[in-house]
Amino acid sequence: MTITSLPHGGILINRLTESTELLASKANRRVVTVDRWTQSDIECIAIGAFSPLTGFLGETDYETVVDNMRLQNGIIWPLPVTLAVDEAAYGDVRIGEEVLLADEDGTMIALMTVESIYKPDKRREALHVFRTSDANHPGVKKLFEKPDLYLGGPISVQKRLIPALFAETYYTPAETREVFKKKGWKSIVGFQTRNPVHRAHEYIQKTALEIVDGLFLNPLMGETKADDVPAAVRMESYQALLAQYYPQDRVFLGSFPAAMRYAGPREAVFHALVRKNYGCTHFIVGRDHAGVGDYYGTYDAQHIFSEFLPGELGIELLFFEHSFYCTVCQGMATSKTCPHPGEKHVTLSGTKVREMLKEGITPPPEFSRPEVAKILIQGMAERKGAKL
């Protein structure tokens, strides 16, 4: 496989502008208020994380992405990135019109030139992208709740979406590439997570570190399901874990501002391409990557990569099986290396772990580092208290 440092599509997109006049006047422009999900897409487009996208997909690109996981020009792109607007309010928008995109507080974020106006077949999109049209799937639910008119076109962004908490971890792909260069890393493995890092994740990350120069821990910090661990709590747990158990000169932590789609296999491809844009040469794909419930097979997110030609993605994939602590081996292992039966393995479901943390019970150290568990228990308690 040919691995290069080039971003996806060959050029790192930058849609950020320093012009203070871009959003200054809205007298003759419509204003579209966008939700947090769309704001995070705007951020990712602007900084080049979604290269080669320069804006929201037009109809032709949308159709080819939904059907074939490719843009019209043939470049691989597995997920539709779209702007949905209310038809009653914006049905008379015209091609070539410039619209302002604002957050829910009315702050102007971006300027978009409308190049495409279309109505999607949402059920078809759901079946292709999520492999289900079941509205209980969080990604499908979000899709069906969106308005029924899509606007496509390039954007220019003046205001970046950087939260007050952990702002120091928000880097553009151009910045991470420069960091890797200064560190002298020629091979970098990316790791995507929306969950706390437990011993199983730590094991596969460190296994990958044996063959590359550095690890880019790039947790998703955008919108997730309501029952997922809050981003601020997760970030604190990542920092504690890296400080105690990882070589400081071989790991770099940076936030990924995107929202979670829960699209399983297609999102695994998406996550790999995004990390390629950030400068990674390798990407870890474990079990049930970007999955939710029972909608995807355990290793479907690995199997999907066989649909592409060798080297076509431009990033090397590292596939790992489910890992666990074996009480006989007295260490972390997978079924590839451990001969002992399941009753000798320390494994816990995500649901069980959440229940334990909510009750203030620390999971066994073979499953989670005590420092991580302590932060998660405290975070759960504060969240529970806030709801009372």
Active site residue 194: yes
Q: How many whole angstroms separate alpha carbon 155 and alpha carbon 169? A: 24
Distance CA 48, CA 118 (A): 25
| Contact call for residues 65 and 162 (beta carbons, < 8 A) | no
Cα–Cα nearest to 41, from 261, 280, 281, 235: 261
Strand 116-118 relative to strand 214-217, pairing: unpaired
Q: In the chain, which ranges are continuous DSSP H helix?
A: 36-47, 59-68, 87-90, 122-129, 138-145, 173-183, 199-209, 231-245, 265-278, 300-303, 350-358, 370-387
Which residue among 194, 199, 261, 287 is the active-site one? 194
For CA atoms 366, 347, 379, 377, give the dihedral sign. Answer: negative
Residues, the chain = 388
Residue of 68, 160, 195, 250 marked active site: 195
250 counts as catalytic = no
Q: Point out the residues that are catalytic.
A: 194-195
